[in-house]
Structure 1
Amino acid sequence: MMSNNKFLLALFLIVTLLLAACTEGTNVEGDSSSSPDSDSNAANSGPLVIGFEADATTLLANHDVNYTTDTLIRNIYDPLIDRDPQTAEFIPVLAEEWKNVDEKTWYLKLKEGIKFQNGADFNANAVKFSIDYILDENNGSFYRSRWANVEEVVVLSDYEVEIHTSVPFPSLIQRIAEDLLIMEPGYVQEVGIEKASSEPVGTGAYTFVDWSRDNYLKLKANEDYWQGKPKIEEVEFRIIPEFSARMSAFMSGEIHLFKNIPVDSVEQFESDEVKQVSSSRINYLALSNLVDGPLKDLKVRQAINYAIDADELLETVLSGNGTRITGPLSKLNADYAETKDYRYDPELAVKLLEEAGFKPEDLSLTLDTPSGRYPMDSHIAQAIASQLQSIGINVEVRVNEWGQHLEKIQKRETGDMYILGWGPAFDAQSTIENLFTKEAPYSSFYEENIEKKIKETNQLFNQDERYAGYAELQQELVEQAAWVPLWQQADLYAVKTSLSFSPRVDEKMNVFEMAWN
């Protein structure tokens, strides 16, 4: 039976979709309008070409916690469990059913008769192999911290597995749905990790053709796909990091689809070429206390919160495309709780800095940002720097290529602050555990008592107690000024009219769901 939280989440998602709206634009770099025959190269006779903001770091499943990697490889591999593209409810894929045997045991029944793209059988051994890959410290999977409580995967039969955990793990199904993709054990063992990372084999709707790193990934339809032959024969994910370049490629007919239209350029598109959906992804300014510097001081972090006018940034830089947040979760998250808002108060910011022993002009901070990954990300970073500089703080903005940006975060090599998005996330644990614990790869904040409470809350099977625990954590993280929360992202897609495509709230681009009109 659907819980109240899940019902409300589903209802909210549907309402949000119905209320989605387009915004005005002002100007654009490059071509300001499409030519009369701009669709001529984007006809439905050739490959579908999707302009994508960054490349995958690997094509191996279960290794890299990264939206760009995950989006591309989900066309090659299948999950055991997915989410409905609109309601976010769990739906079966390779798993037929699942149940909680006790607080430390989960049972999954798998679908039969499914083949990998190389003809091997999908079965319980493939599930065990894929999870064991995450758990094996030697593999260096960035998912490992998310699965640390999994003790053992037991094969009960060819199509049944049990997952045993070391502590109660009530959110294991979320982890399976959001993280786990199934690899072909025999293939990986035969060719080795390196080749499997660049020439993957899964059970998915599309098979690998060619990958030119940072240029393109080409796939073709898996004609024997267990859910039916895909409607689109060929697809190319073309890597185009810059907003303006993606837009120019769309206007000239080189690509059919891209995400994150520059918000100041929406009016340059035909109205039926623009689709919008509210994402459950949140964007924030990390204030890292994991690197040495003044942001280890609570009052300095609070001062920065008071010195940044996030409402002005949302209105002026993003043209209102987004929903303001005051805490670590989006309003589409089932565990969302209202939190205190740090109002814009530059005078209080200066006072807090002085109480911490700093004059604003004596502070020199660094701010790392990607460019082209999130809507107007580097522009946001420059605007934040300007707001901080207006009270005397010196800020150096460092613009990173996306892969470099992630690597700097993982290695704790960023400056004092950095721009990042997180999601899509539909439950509190997937955000709070992964961004506010010491060892999680993308964390920017650690406080011993908060981490202890996170671990305790994660183990609560009682939904009311679990919700209350996460609500308290959200309040504490705001009081600790762990971030400057910015907004819940609004996703703007450019879509050629020749393509049937419906944006998902989880941002996945599953080509199997698309078709030519």
Structure 2
Amino acid sequence: MIARFALAATAAFAMTVSAHAERTDLTIGVVLEPPHLDPTAGAAAAIDEVVYANVFEGLTRIGRDGAVQPGLAENWIISDDGLTYTFELREGVTFHDGTALDAGDVVFSLDRARGEDSVNAQKGLFDAIESVAQMDELTVEVTLSRPAGDFLYNMGWGDAVIVAPESAETNKENPVGTGPFTFVEWQKGAAVTLQRNDAYWGDAPALTEVTFRFIPDPAAATAALLAGDVQAYPNLPAPESIPVFEADPRFTVAIGSTEGETILSTNNAKPPFDDVRVRQAIAHAIDRQAIIDGAMFGLGTPIGSHFAPHHPAYVELSETYPYDPDRARELLAEAGHGDGITGTLKLPPPSYARRGGEIIAAQLREVGIDLEIEPVEWAQWLEQVFTNKDYDLTIVSHTEPNDIGIYARDDYYFQYENPDFNAVIEELSVTAGEDARYELFRQAQQILAEDAVNGFLFQLAKNGIWDAKLEGMWENSPVQANDVTGVRWTE
């Protein structure tokens, strides 16, 4: 009897261990629900956070270390003059609807992204392309009008993924890519579910099902992790809860870096913010460390321009306009606003914006800038601020990699114009040498800082919290993505 009980107990234990070891599902918490699921037709980082590398792939991809890796193109040849890129596509790749990937899909995708009627939010990535030609079924030749040192990197952005003409128009609601996961369901307001693509051309992921749950509320996010309702939160919106997880051996806490320049975005074309003295006054009125401490519980690195501190070309410019309320008042008076100014501050849902906005509004009020806070949902922000430029000030984290060139774009939502800055970016676009590129990056940072284009606040930290039995989660965010292709459960 005892022997039978022991044998049964041993078998039950073995089954329990085996069942745990074989777990292949994962629920991930994310802050924002994407407006749709087509990364080639929207600016929201929330899109890439679900589908980049998981559902959609590009000719190249950006790895967890920020380096360019082969993607759908397994090889490429660059001409001596840097103007012709010949991409050799992988054999046997199919889209999730069963259609085969060929060179025609690449021609379609790149021409669609750079066309006159393109709705691609990063159309500037394709500016250097003069033509795209299919050489044979699996070979594509891209000709540039000028050398572009970052072309392969640009082709690794989510905005440059390859789509099929058969499904391109319906990708917003039913994304069809070539990636290791296929789209299953989108429960609006709740979650997106993906499942493993058994026909994937590459190594099969360990996970068979991944669900991205939308939990913007910091308290709810913390509770969901502690209860096990979600097993990972790549960027927890509740930095105040980190000590709780650090003290709990069930969790891994990984504080990493991001490409997220968090800024007080300013409408440079709208009076009185079109006056550099007003923008300088705002810069002097901002106490960055107080914002980091009060809104982010000390997690974040002060910045003085639009550039990531971990980049080797970074210049420390946060003291260009040091915290000095008296000087801020003087500048406002010089600009003819000695009696103060009023404006609006539109705040999207992330906690860095909502919490940081309250602190910034209080700081600016002390120098005579009275802001009316307007909370907006993400879809409203994209329409009102990003698209229609209907705003005075807003707070947002720009998480696109190495994106200082956005300040040279015509009609971008900052509405900033400076021919000297544009000339630097133009030279950067045709410069391949690393040392020369880094010097141009430094010049660009300096111009933006001196012009006080935006209120440069801090580099967003990545507050990664996940089950200690998970491995393969990214500690840093070189791109705005939650790549789960290498994630697995361990003992």
**CA deviation map 1:306-332 (0-9, x unaligned):** 011112222333222111112210122
Between stretches 112-121 and 175-184, larger displacement belongs to: 112-121
Work out whether residues 268 and 414 of structure 2, in 8 Å CA contact, stay in contact via their aligned partners in 1: no
Candidates 445, 454, 459, aligned match of 2:416: 445
CA contact (8 A) 2:130 2:144 kept: yes
The RMSD of aligned alpha carbons is 2.2
Judged with a 3 Å threshold, the aligned counterparts in structure 2 of structure 1 residues 81 and 345 are, in CA distance, closer, same or farther, namely: same
Could you tell me which residue of structure 2 aligns to residue 511 of structure 1? 484
1:333 and 2:311 aligned: yes
Secondary structure in 1 matching 2:273: helix
| Offset at residue 461 of structure 1 (A) | 3.1
Where do residues 273-422 of structure 1 align in structure 2 (5 Å cutoff)? 273-290=252-269, 292-339=270-317, 341=319, 342-359=321-338, 361-372=339-350, 375-422=351-398
CA contact (8 A) 2:207 2:488 kept: yes
The change in CA–CA distance for 1:122 and 1:478 in structure 2 (over 3 A counts) is: same
Task: State which of 180, 188, 198 in structure 1 corresponds to 2:173.
Answer: 198
Partner of 2:154: 175
1:153 aligns with 2:136: no
SS at match of 2:485: helix
Partner of 1:23: none
Note the C-alpha offset of 1:344: 0.7
Kept in 1, the 8 Å contact 2:231–2:466? The answer is yes
1:165 CA drift (Å): 2.2
Q: Give the distance between the partners of 2:32 and 2:294, measured in 1 at CA.
A: 26
Distance 1:187 1:256 in 2: 32
* DSSP-derived class of the 1:467 partner: helix
SS in 2 for 1:71: helix
Q: How many residues get paired?
A: 461
Give CA deviations for 1:220-277 in whole Å, capped at 9, x if unaligned.
Answer: 1111212232211111111222222222222222211122241112122225342221
Measure, in 2, the Cα distance between the counterparts of 1:447 and 1:52: 37
- AA in 2 matched with 1:70: D
Q: CA deviation at 1:446?
A: 2.3
2-structure distance, mates of 1:409, 1:483: 14
Q: In structure 2, which of residues 165, 186, 196 is the aligned counterpart of residue 185 of structure 1? A: 165
Corresponding letter in the other structure for 2:428: T
SS in 1 for 2:171: helix
- Assess, with a 3 A threshold, how the Cα gap between structure 1 residues 252 and 44 changes in structure 2: closer, same or farther: farther
User: In structure 2, how many angstroms separate the alpha carbons of the residues matched to 1:174 and 1:351?
Assistant: 44
Task: Work out whether residues 26 and 207 of structure 2, in 8 Å CA contact, stay in contact via their aligned partners in 1.
Answer: yes
The answer to whether the 8 A contact 1:335-1:470 is kept is: yes
CA contact (8 A) 1:322 1:489 kept: yes
2:212 matched residue in structure 1? 237
8 Å contact from structure 1 (residues 289, 296) kept in 2: yes
Measure, in 2, the Cα distance between the counterparts of 1:200 and 1:472: 40
Aligned mates of 1:120, 1:463 — CA distance in 2: 40
TM-score by length of 2: 0.88
Match of 2:12 in 1: none
> 1:444 deviation in Å?
4.6
Q: What per-residue deviation string (whole Å, max 9, x for no partner) do you get for residues 398-427 of structure 1?
A: 1111222122222243422111111242x4
Instruction: Please give the alpha-carbon distance, in whole angstroms, between the structure 1 residues aligned to 2:414 and 2:85.
Output: 28
| Equivalent in the alignment of 2:437 | 466
Question: 2:318 and 2:184 mapped to 1: Cα distance?
Answer: 50
Q: Report the alpha carbon displacement of residue 43 of structure 1 after superposing the two structures with TM.
A: 10
Does the CA-based 8 Å contact 2:35-2:379 persist in structure 1? Answer: yes
Higher-Rg structure is 2
- Supply the distance in 2 between the matched residues of 1:451 and 1:481 (Cα, whole angstroms): 16
Counterpart check, 1:63 vs 2:41: yes
Q: CA deviation digits over 1:445-497, x for unaligned, max 9?
A: 22233224322332223443332222112111111111121111111122123
Shift of 1:84: 2.5
Q: Distance in 2 between matches of 1:391 and 1:248?
A: 39
| 1:10 matched residue in structure 2 | none
1:62·1:133 contact (CA, 8 Å) conserved in 2? no
The Cα offsets for residues 92-137 of structure 1, whole Å up to 9 and x where unpaired, read as: 1211122431243222222222222222222211211111221223
Aligned to 2:407: 435
Write the distance in 1 (CA, Å) between the matches of 2:433 and 2:470: 45
Determine the C-alpha separation between the residues in 2 that align with 1:117 and 1:362: 58
Partner residue, 1:31: none
2:294–2:356 CA contact under 8 A, matched in 1: no
Q: How many angstroms apart in 2 are the aligned matches of 1:58 and 1:89?
A: 28
| Partner Cα distance (2:63, 2:297) in 1 | 30
Q: CA deviation at 1:302?
A: 0.4
* Paired residues of 1:283 and 1:422 also in contact (CA < 8 A): yes
Q: Which runs of 5+ in 2 are unaligned?
A: 1-19
Over 3 Å counting, the alpha-carbon distance change for 1:435 and 1:489 in structure 2 is same
CA distance in 2, matches of 1:414, 1:44: 51
- Retained in 2: the 8 A contact 1:256–1:495? yes
| Cα distance in 2 between the residues matched to 1:162 and 1:389 | 56
- Which whole-Å CA distance do the structure 1 matches of 2:477 and 2:195 have between them? 25
Which sits farther off after the overlay, 49-58 or 346-355?
A: 49-58
Query: What is the alpha-carbon distance in structure 2 between the residues aligned to residue 242 and residue 446 of structure 1?
Result: 37
1:487 to 453, 458, 468: 458
What is the TM-score with the length of structure 1 in the denominator?
0.84
Stretch moving more, 467-476 or 201-210 = 467-476
Counterpart position of 1:252: 227
| 2:16 paired residue number | none
Instruction: Please report how far the alpha carbon of residue 167 of structure 1 lies from its aligned counterpart in structure 2 after TM superposition.
Output: 3.0
Residue identity matched to 1:459: V
Q: What's the secondary structure of 1:174's corresponding residue? A: helix
Distance of 1:265 and 1:444 partners within structure 2 = 38
Unaligned runs of 5+ in 1: 1-41
User: 2:427 is matched by which residue type in structure 1?
Assistant: E
